[in-house]
Every structure is written in C-alpha cells, then in structure tokens.
Amino acid sequence: MSEKKVKIYSTPTCTYCVALKKYFEKNEVDYEEVNVAEDQEALKEMKEKSGQMGVPVTEIGEDIVIGFDKKTIEKLLEIN
C-alpha cells in the first residue's frame, strides 16, 4: 500500500464524498478530511489546486483527483 498523504476536500451532504470515505476505510487508507462547507480557506485552497468548485477533490501526494475516480485512485495508491 502506498504511503502517500491523502487529503479529501468534501462536504457533509455529498454522496460521492461519503462513498469515497467508505472506500478508503474499507481499503485501510489513512486520510485527512477537510469540510469545505465550513472552511472557506480550504474551499479557496481546493479551487486553486483543482480549478473545481465541486467535491470530492482528493489530493494524493502531488496528484489531484476530481470526483470519486476509483480507477485513478487505485493507480495512485497502488490498491489492487
């Protein structure tokens, strides 16, 4: 399993965010979650990094993944 730092920009009402967090927990991926609905600085940071307003945006090491893109996430984290 990869040791890359994982950070999820999410909101409490986002179904894809919930699914992504469940996926990470099932695969024992440690992650930091940032609620952009409450943290305006994090929202600004997310927009600067991704160019996106929608969530989830996941930062894996130096890479940014938009949405719950399972194939890309598995590749970046080396999940089989």
pLDDT digits (tens, 9 = 90+) for 15-38: 999 999 999 999 999 999 999 999
Is the predicted pLDDT of residue 79 greater than 90, yes or no?
A: no
Cα distance between residue 57 and residue 9, in whole Å: 5
Q: How confident is the model at residue 2 (pLDDT cuts 50, 70, 90)?
A: low
Q: What confidence score (pLDDT) does residue 42 get?
A: 96
CA distance 79 to 14: 24
pLDDT surpassing 90 at residue 61: yes
In the chain, what are the helix, strand and coil shares in percent, each to the nearest 5?
Answer: 40, 20, 40
Q: For the chain, list the domains and their CATH numbers.
A: 6-77 (3.40.30.10)
Strand runs (DSSP E) across 1-80, as ranges? 6-10, 32-35, 57-60, 63-66
| Mean pLDDT confidence for 43-62 | 96
